[in-house]
């Protein structure tokens, strides 16, 4: 069976919520039911067939085609299957995701992978603010899975993150890993200001020395840490330069903090 | 059955069910991985008095280990799950955590999970760090040489202990030489250990004793110095008997090990003074697994 493909046939002026277009919901629907299902568009709802043309039958592989940058909540709560986005995606991509895989050819807006539980998200472009974070007002961010961004990410990536890993090949904005409870964030490019602000636990693994480190982080010296080879090996399946950087991370400079919070987090800076 | 002048008795070895786990110890180099593994498997020859039976399964190349460093795979066997869990934890804490540069990983992910570093982490006094990598939880425990990395749990499976065979020779020297040849061949078989010193037992036992406090005593029927005093199993030309005991994860593993071991002994054969191969057969008192020598060698 060929992939179930949704091609946008109109230019969207408002945000479209496509959270229902996941394997878990579509597996039991026939094509007629799919075409007539309602999707929230702005403050109203609209039949799917008025916006998308449909091809293919296999809901375990879903493809979004066209000017998809205003499609929000792609893969929300999905537990299985593959979603491929051939262009950009909107906000809340992979929100509450519990399994499966999302591949985005372009970039995504804010709150990607927010409160994600498990699965894999691959972004070939950039990601907006609050990647892997908690929703506004919530205190539990991403709690599992892996997100790989080949480009840059906005501010507050990993805010309130609890478990799982963000792998960022490009640069990260301000407040990276702020208020982290646990988990791992790897950044191969530059990082912004207020790195690890108020982080309680967790690891920020950086290939480049940041411009500044908060005074509430304590210098613990340079070390060889046994878990890093294991960590890098776990990312071997990603198309990231990280998997070839074991020598770079052979030695890391460890800063423990943030002592204004629990203080058991760490910033590890490559010193190999 | 006779092979190269060696008679293989029509008898069987009796073995019993055990619980087992496999762990991997890595270190900066093979020397320190082996030191830690040797310490961890020390005083673990028999469950009768040691609590568990343990041994080195094999050395591992860096590309085979989880952290890409030289390693050693260790197998531990006990009569029950609780005993095994206690032994693993105690030995890991005293022999691996303490050994410079080592890390500790599960070598078996099947079966029921038992603690590996789950409680050792508290040695970190609050500075320990948890990392969940590839679905498995690890603990980073700060120690004076850096960090001790340990997987949280290891898998415990049902296994078999007490597979064995006896080598009957014309002299002590010849019996030992045959045992050494057998052990060298058997160490290449995965998932088995020969837990006694150097893999060889010279004090094979029978079930029971004239002394009420003892559950086992010397196997007098195979003691050459008692030939005239007891109902002996030995013919006049036999002057020394040694035993090889095998613990394995499955019946097939033990059979394979017994086969290569007996083949190595038979390769030396009668010209090297080896006369018979027999097995510890205690009339069904010991355990439900029977390893028939002639079937294994057929």
User: Which pLDDT tens digit goes with each residue over B250-291?
Assistant: 999 999 999 999 999 999 999 999 999 999 877 776 678 999
Put simply, the answer to whether A203 touches B132 (Cβ < 8 Å) is no
Res A158 pLDDT > 80: yes
pLDDT for the residue A247: 92
**CA triple B221-B226-B228, angle to 5 deg:** 100
User: Smallest CA–CA separation between B291 and chain A, in Å?
Assistant: 41
Strand, helix or coil for residue B278: strand
Distance from CA of B56 to the nearest CA of A (A): 23
pLDDT of residue B281: 74
* Closest residue on chain B to A230 (Cα): B67
Nearest CA among A69, A63, A119 for reference residue A86: A63
Q: What is the pLDDT of residue A87?
A: 96
d(CA A244, CA A198): 31
- Nearest chain B alpha carbon to A231: B133
Residues B60, B25: Cα–Cα separation, whole Å: 9
Which secondary-structure segment (H or E) carries A234?
Answer: helix A227-234
- Mean pLDDT, all residues of chain B: 95
Read off the pLDDT of residues A260-272 as tens digits, 9 standing for 90 and up: 999 999 999 999 7
Helix axes B172-186, B251-268, angle to 10 degrees: 140
Q: Quick one: pLDDT band at residue B215, thresholds 50, 70, 90?
A: confident
The answer to whether the Cβ–Cβ distance between B149 and A230 falls below 8 Å is yes
pLDDT tens digits for A46-95? 999 999 999 999 999 999 999 999 999 999 999 999 999 999 999 999 99
pLDDT band for position A181 (cuts 50, 70, 90): very high
pLDDT tens, residue by residue, A186-224: 999 999 999 999 999 999 999 999 999 999 999 999 999
Q: Please tell me which of the candidates A224, A227, A233 has its beta carbon nearest to residue B131.
A: A227
Q: How confident is the model at residue A243 (pLDDT cuts 50, 70, 90)?
A: confident
Vertex A194 angle, CA A192 and A196, to 5°: 105
* Residue B204 near residue B280, CB atoms below 8 Å: yes
Contacts of B262 (CB under 8 A, 6+ apart): B8, B165, B182, B277, B293, B296, B297
With vertex at residue A146, the alpha carbon angle to CA A164 and CA A251, rounded to the nearest 5 degrees, is 70
Mean pLDDT of B117-121: 97
Q: Give me the percent of chain A exceeding a pLDDT of 90.
A: 98
Reported confidence tier of residue B18, pLDDT bands at 50, 70, 90:
very high
Q: What is the pLDDT of residues B164-176, one digit of tens each?
A: 999 999 999 999 9
Mean pLDDT of A233-237: 93
What is the predicted pLDDT for the residue at A128?
A: 98
- Residue among A204, A224, A230 with most chain B CBs within 10 A, to mutate: A230
Task: Locate B48 and state its tokens.
Answer: 């009768």
The pLDDT of residue B57: 97
Q: Are B40 and B91 in contact (CB under 8 A)?
A: yes
At B190-206, the pLDDT tens digits run: 999 999 999 999 999 88
Peptide bond into B257 cis (omega under 30): no
What are the phi and psi torsion angles at B83 (to 5°)? -65, -45
Report ipTM for this prediction. Answer: 0.92
Contact B147 A226 (CB under 8 A): yes
Q: Indicate the residue of A144, A223, A230 with minimum beta-carbon distance to B67.
A: A230
Residues of B in contact with A163 (CB under 8 A): 132
CB contact under 8 A, B146 and A224: yes
* Tens digit of each residue's pLDDT (9 = 90 or more) over B22-61: 999 999 999 999 999 999 999 999 998 899 999 999 999 9
Q: Which three-class secondary structure state does DSSP give residue B205? A: strand
Q: What is residue A8's three-state secondary structure?
A: strand
Tokens of B208: 């029971």
Output the pTM of the full model. Answer: 0.93
Q: CA-to-CA distance for A23 and A26, rounded, in angstroms?
A: 5
Q: Residues B137, B121: contact at Cβ < 8 Å?
A: no
A254 shares contact with chain B (CB less than 8 Å) = no
- Which tokens hold the place of B75? 């197998």
Q: Tell me the mean pLDDT in the region B99-112.
A: 97
Q: Which chain A residues have a beta carbon less than 8 Å from that of B124?
A: none
User: Is the CB of A226 less than 8 angstroms away from the CB of B133?
Assistant: no
Contact B157, B151 (CB under 8 A): no
pLDDT band at A229 (very low <50, low <70, confident <90, very high): very high
Domains, chain B, in order of start with CATH, read 2-14+160-297 (3.30.70.520), 19-157 (3.30.70.520)
Q: What is the DSSP letter of B271?
A: G
| Residues linked to residue B16 through DSSP beta bridges, in sequence order | B161
Per-residue model confidence (pLDDT) at position A244:
86
CB atoms within 10 A of CB B132: 17
User: In this predicted structure, what is the pLDDT of residue B204?
Assistant: 92
Please check the confidence at residue A249 and state whether its pLDDT lies above 90: yes
pLDDT at B216: 86
């Amino acid at each position: 069976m060929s992939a179930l493909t949704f091609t946008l046939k109109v230019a969207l002026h408002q945000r479209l919520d496509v959270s229902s277009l996941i394997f878990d919901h579509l597996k039991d629907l026939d094509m007629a039911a799919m075409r007539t299902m309602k999707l929230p568009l702005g403050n109203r709802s609209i039949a799917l067939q008025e916006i998308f043309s449909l091809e293919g039958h296999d809901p375990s592989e879903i493809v979004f085609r066209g000017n998809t940058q205003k499609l929000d909540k792609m893969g929300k709560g999905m537990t299985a299957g593959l979603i491929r986005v051939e262009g950009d995606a909107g906000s809340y991509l992979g929100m509450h995701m519990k399994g499966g895989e999302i591949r985005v050819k372009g970039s995504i807006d804010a709150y990607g992978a927010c409160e994600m539980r498990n699965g894999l998200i691959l972004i070939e472009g950039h990601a907006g603010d609050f990647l892997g974070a908690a929703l506004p007002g919530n205190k539990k961010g991403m709690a599992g899975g892996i997100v790989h961004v080949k480009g840059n990410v906005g501010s507050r990536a990993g805010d309130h993150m609890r478990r799982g890993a963000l792998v960022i090949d490009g640069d990260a904005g301000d407040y990276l890993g702020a208020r982290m409870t646990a988990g791992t964030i790897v950044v191969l490019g530059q990082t912004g200001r207020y790195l690890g602000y108020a982080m309680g636990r967790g690891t920020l693994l950086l290939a480049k020395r940041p411009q500044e480190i908060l005074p509430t982080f304590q210098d613990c010296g340079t070390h060889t840490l046994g878990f890093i080879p294991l960590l890098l090996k776990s990312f071997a399946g990603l198309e990231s330069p990280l998997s070839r950087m074991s020598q770079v991370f052979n030695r890391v400079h460890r800063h423990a903090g943030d002592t204004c919070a629990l203080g058991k987090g760490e910033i590890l800076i490559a010193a190999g | 059955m006779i092979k190269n002048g060696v008679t293989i008795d029509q008898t069987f070895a009796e073995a019993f069910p055990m619980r087992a786990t496999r762990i991997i110890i890595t270190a900066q180099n093979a020397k320190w991985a082996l030191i830690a593994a040797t310490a961890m498997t020390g005083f673990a020859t028999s469950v009768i008095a040691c609590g568990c039976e343990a041994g080195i399964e094999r050395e591992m190349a860096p590309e085979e280990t989880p952290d890409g460093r030289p390693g050693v795979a260790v197998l531990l066997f006990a009569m029950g799950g609780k005993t095994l869990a206690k032994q693993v934890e105690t030995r890991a804490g005293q022999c691996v955590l303490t050994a410079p540069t080592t890390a500790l990983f599960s070598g078996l992910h099947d079966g029921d999970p038992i603690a590996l570093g789950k409680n050792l982490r508290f040695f970190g006094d609050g500075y320990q760090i948890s990392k969940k990598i590839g679905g498995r939880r690890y603990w980073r425990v700060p120690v004076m040489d850096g960090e001790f990395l340990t997987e949280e749990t290891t898998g415990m499976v049902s296994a078999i202990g007490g597979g064995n065979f006896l080598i009957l020779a014309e002299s002590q020297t010849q019996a030992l030489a045959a045992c050494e040849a057998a052990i060298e061949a058997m160490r290449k078989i995965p998932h088995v250990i020969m837990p006694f010193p150097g893999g060889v037992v010279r004090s094979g036992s029978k079930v029971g004793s004239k002394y009420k406090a003892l559950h086992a005593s010397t196997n007098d029927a195979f003691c050459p110095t008692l030939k005239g005093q007891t109902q002996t199993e030995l013919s006049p030309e036999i002057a020394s008997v040694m035993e090889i005991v095998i613990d394995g994860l499955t019946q097939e593993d033990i059979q394979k090990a017994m086969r290569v071991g007996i083949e190595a002994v038979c390769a030396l054969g009668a010209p090297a003074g080896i006369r018979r191969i027999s097995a510890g057969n205690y009339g069904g008192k010991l355990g439900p697994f029977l390893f028939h020598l002639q079937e294994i060698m057929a």
